[in-house]
Structure formats: structure tokens, C-alpha cells
Amino acid sequence: MQATAAAFLACPHPRLLRIGRWGPDGIALVRGGIVALPPRLRGPRCSVSLAIGGGAGASEDRGFSYEHVPVFPRYRIRDPYKLLGVDRDASEEEIRSARNFLIQQYAGHEPSEEAIEGAYEKIIMKSYQQRKKTKINLKTKLKKRVEESPSWVKALLGYFEVPSMDIISRRLFFFAFIAGWSIATSAENGPAFQLAISLFSCIYFLNDKMKNLLRASTTGFGVLVGGWIVGSLLVPLIPTFIIPPSWSLELLTSLVAYIFLFLGCTFLK
């Protein structure tokens, strides 16, 4: 404050400039309650105004100060799991929650935010690489098992294929709709009409792959007969207390047949 006051008095002031003379002993004259210094004590005209509070405050005004911003105490730790405070077997949801909580707690301190974000990205990237590696290893193991299997197993697997997920999901939705339709109308009549639609749809899907209508028709009808036989054998084994009273034996057998038709038209070559 003393430096600021001296700077203020050293600067020319309009009321000070109106004082025209000084006392012979060099004592400043007072006019209007303002003290004017003699010329030999006055400094040069001020060209830069100083901030109230001294040089330290002025230097802080020119840059950002972290003085009142909370600092993350673990932001220098290299282990991303220890930095975020999560276990190594934590789920992605737990890791994301820890990251969001810390970002909110230490917002404004750039080194802390960068350390938290960096640790989160390292953990997520490592998890993605592990899943990708596991998936590749699983495919490799399955392929190796097939190559080492007996010849009859290879011949049997040659009749099957795995289509894209888009094809699987669309056909699953279609047969699920047929099953729901059969359940909804089970009290009125049997599922004969729905079974006919599902059989013709299965033949259509098989013919699209086989390019042979006769073969596709034979395969589709065989899948329906096989599903009906399996359903007739399995349904009586189901406990009656878990089956709704309105569901007949014919309806339950039809539901098993829908599953076989879905698997046949989707995975058979």
C-alpha cells in the first residue's frame, strides 16, 4: 500500500497542477485540503498505472493461478487403476463413474483433469485390446478343434454356416412374431395357419441360399417334421405348473417347431 500511495502522489493530478508556487523553505503549500510536494521531490510523470495490492497481484493477473483450485493428490501416479481408485477387475460402468466423479471434484486444475482423463483412456483401451485378443483366440481355438475333429464331424459341420448378425436378428424377429401371433390366437383356433406361413418362409430362405427349390422344399419340410417330433417328445416332460392353462399341447409343439425352422433356414447351407 505504501508503494501504491507513493505512485499515486508521484502521478500528476489536476488539482496539484493548479498550485503555482512553493514556500521558501520548500514546505508544500496546502490548497483545498491537498498536499503538493515540491518539484525536487516529485518523480517523473506516470506512464503505467499499478494495480492495488503490489507487484505480486499484478503478476498473478497476467496468468492463471491454481491457488484456490483443488488439486488431485494422486495425479502424478503412473498406475491408472490406482490413480482412479478402482480395482483391476472393475466394470466399465464403475470406471466411468469414478472418472466422472473425479472430474467434477477437481474441475479447473488442468494437470489433474489431464491425469484423470489419461488414466481412464488407458484402462478402456486396455480392456478393448483384451476383448479383441480373447475373441481372436476363441476363433482360433474353435478352428483348431474343427481341424482336429474326426472326418464325420467335419462332414456334418460342412452342412452349416454362420451368417451375419443382421440376417440372424431379422429371421429371429420374424419367427418370434409368428410365435407371438400363435400364442395370441391360441384360444380361438390352432396354429395351423401360422405353421404354414413359417414353413413357406423357411423354404423361401433356404432356396435363396441353395438356389434349388426342390432341395429347399425337402429340407424345410424335413426341419418342420423333425421339430414337431422333438416337440411332441419334450412338451409332455414340462411341468404343468409353469405352463399357462390356455396353452394347448398343439401350441407348445408348434413353438418347438418354430425354433427348428428358424435354426434350419438360418444356419443350414
Among 133-147, 181-195, 220-234, name the most confident range. 220-234
- Name the pLDDT band for 178 (thresholds 50, 70, 90): very high
Model confidence at 193: pLDDT above 70: yes
Q: Give the tens place of pLDDT for each residue, 88-131.
A: 888 888 899 999 999 998 888 888 889 999 999 999 988 888 77
**Which residues neighbour 59 within 8 Å (Cβ) at sequence distance 6 or greater?**
none
- The arithmetic mean of pLDDT across residues 206-225, rounded, is 92
pTM over 0.85: no
| Cα(46)–Cα(31) distance, integer angstroms | 22
Residue, of 156 and 202, whose pLDDT is higher: 202
DSSP H stretches of helix in 106-212: 110-148, 151-157, 165-184, 192-210
Amino acid at 267: F
Nearest 10 degrees: Cα torsion 80, 83, 84, 87: 70
**Which residues neighbour 129 within 8 Å (Cβ) at sequence distance 6 or greater?**
none
- Name the pLDDT band for 226 (thresholds 50, 70, 90): very high
Domain ranges of the chain: 80-139, 159-267
Strands (E), the chain: 30-31, 34-35
Sign of CA pseudo-dihedral 43, 47, 48, 52? positive
From the number of C-beta atoms within 10 Å of its C-beta (0-12, 13-18, 19+), residue 173 rates as: exposed
- Name the pLDDT band for 261 (thresholds 50, 70, 90): very high
- Name the pLDDT band for 213 (thresholds 50, 70, 90): very high
CA angle 95, 99, 104 (to 5 degrees): 150
Q: pLDDT value at position 172?
A: 94
Indicate the DSSP class of residue 149: S
Q: Give the tens place of pLDDT for each residue, 32-60.
A: 444 444 544 444 444 333 343 444 443 44
